[in-house]
Amino acid sequence: MTAEQAAQQAVASPSVHRLKATRPVTGDRVTIAYRRLGDAGHGSFGVVIKAELLQGGSGVVAIKRTKQDRRFKNRELQIMCAVDHPNVVKLRLFWLEASPDDEDETFLYLVLEFVPQTLYRVYRSFVKRGERVPELLVQLYSYQLLRALSYLHSLGICHRDVKPHNLMCDPDSGRLVLIDFGSAKVLKPDEANVAYTCSRFYRAPELILGATLYTDLWALGCVLAELLAGQVFFPGRDGIDQLVEIVKVLGSPTVREIKAMHPSYQNPDFLLVDPVPFSSLLPHASPAALDLLASLLVYTPRFRPSAAQALSHPFFDDLRRGNLRPLSSAANGSLAVGAERQSQGWGLVMPNGKKVKAPLFDFSAQELSVRPDLVRILVPSHARAALLAGPEHIDVERFEPVDLAPLRLWLE
């Protein structure tokens, strides 16, 4: 039997689902066939299954099903169709399907690239073995999350639900992608937002106080602290207790900080609590990690760095330098340069012994234009030739930023 005959036989199987779907970029309608492989996740949003595409594409995918109100456009779908970044999960196909039980109910199906593990599962695997998450992995994953956020923010998109369960990792390549844009929104200055968003453990203090201006950087700081601590950093039991947990670490906010978080907050009285140094809570973290964390987890939102600014922090210098070192020769004590190091000039090996294959420095002109003053820090010397030879021919030494305003996403 030929490979083509085998594929045709697989598609003809009664366990295979066949339907029409839409490609997000072109809008083309195509016939697809897929075989369900198992469950991949579930939550208030709906369910996610793992499947194998047999027609209209190939390989293993994740298919997410959510309820769709026919009266409104789906914001998650609109955003997913508009974004394209190596650290944002890729939408491959989508379709709508009427509910067999309720004629007024419709389901939206999103066919997404499959990435095997959540960041939560990755770090918990270390904790269960009684180990700390290696700081190199903390650097690798938080760096890629920052890249995703910087890109989204340049489009005017706020994710609003950054947490380890919404970050998928590939342990073979070291790649991380941000998923679940069900809470994401294009923020408009004249449009009201709700304060109650973002999962509780990662909710910024100003949101707890009722503010409606969002920042993903507080949640990023919570994820960073969680990786360093091996557990949720602010484990509040409810909204108020969440603020109590924050105050236990940061100390009581000053009147000025309260006004910065929410100018019209009516109950500015807090019990006086002294802050606890991050170094005493995370004694094994490096000074660079503690410095970045201290810049992110602050009460005043405008004092937190942007995602692009955080990317330039010295905490990520190890990634820019790489860690493939000359190998010592046991025979004569001389140094032998590894062939991989010679051929590529840079490399990064994860604690599992596998080389990082995820692209870390393939910045677009759009990404670099967020903070053009940081370009020489963000793009290490060993990555510049590849950028120059890439599709945008970016010359770091003569970089001219692009206008980001026309690239901002506007949704109806």
Contact 35, 41 (CB under 8 A): no
Q: What torsion do the CA atoms of 392, 398, 403, 407 make, to the nearest 10 degrees?
A: 20
Contact 22, 28 (CB under 8 A): yes
For 79, 130, 196, 203, the CA distances from 183, given in Å and listed in that order, are 11, 34, 11, 13
3-state secondary structure 77-110: HHHHHHCCCCCECCEEEEEEEECCCCCCCEEEEE
Q: Report residue 72's pLDDT band, with 50, 70 and 90 as the boundaries.
A: low
**pLDDT tens readout for residues 165-174:** 999 999 999 9
161 noted as active-site residue: yes
Walk across the sheet containing 167-170 and list its strands: 117-118, 167-170, 175-178
Q: What is the mean pLDDT of residues 349-373?
A: 97
DSSP assignment of 270-335, as one string? --------HHHHSTTS-HHHHHHHHHHS-SSGGGSPPHHHHHTSGGGHHHHH----PEEPTTTS-E
Q: Of 248, 317, 312, 258, whose CA–CA distance to 280 is shortest?
A: 248
Give the per-residue pLDDT at 329: 39
Give the per-residue pLDDT at 266: 64
| List of domains in the chain | 25-113 (3.30.200.20), 117-319 (1.10.510.10), 362-411 (no CATH)
Give the per-residue pLDDT at 336: 35
Give the per-residue pLDDT at 392: 97
Residue predicted with more confidence, 323 or 383: 383
Q: What is the mean pLDDT of residues 37-42?
A: 87
For 120, 169, 285, the CA distances from 137, given in Å and listed in that order, are 13, 11, 13
Give the per-residue pLDDT at 241: 94
Give percent of the chain above pLDDT 90: 73
Q: What is the mean pLDDT of residues 323-345?
A: 46
Catalytic residue among 28, 101, 161, 403: 161
Residue predicted with more confidence, 148 or 191: 148
Q: What is the mean pLDDT of residues 62-74?
A: 83
Q: Report residue 196's pLDDT band, with 50, 70 and 90 as the boundaries.
A: low
Longest dimension (CA), the chain: 78
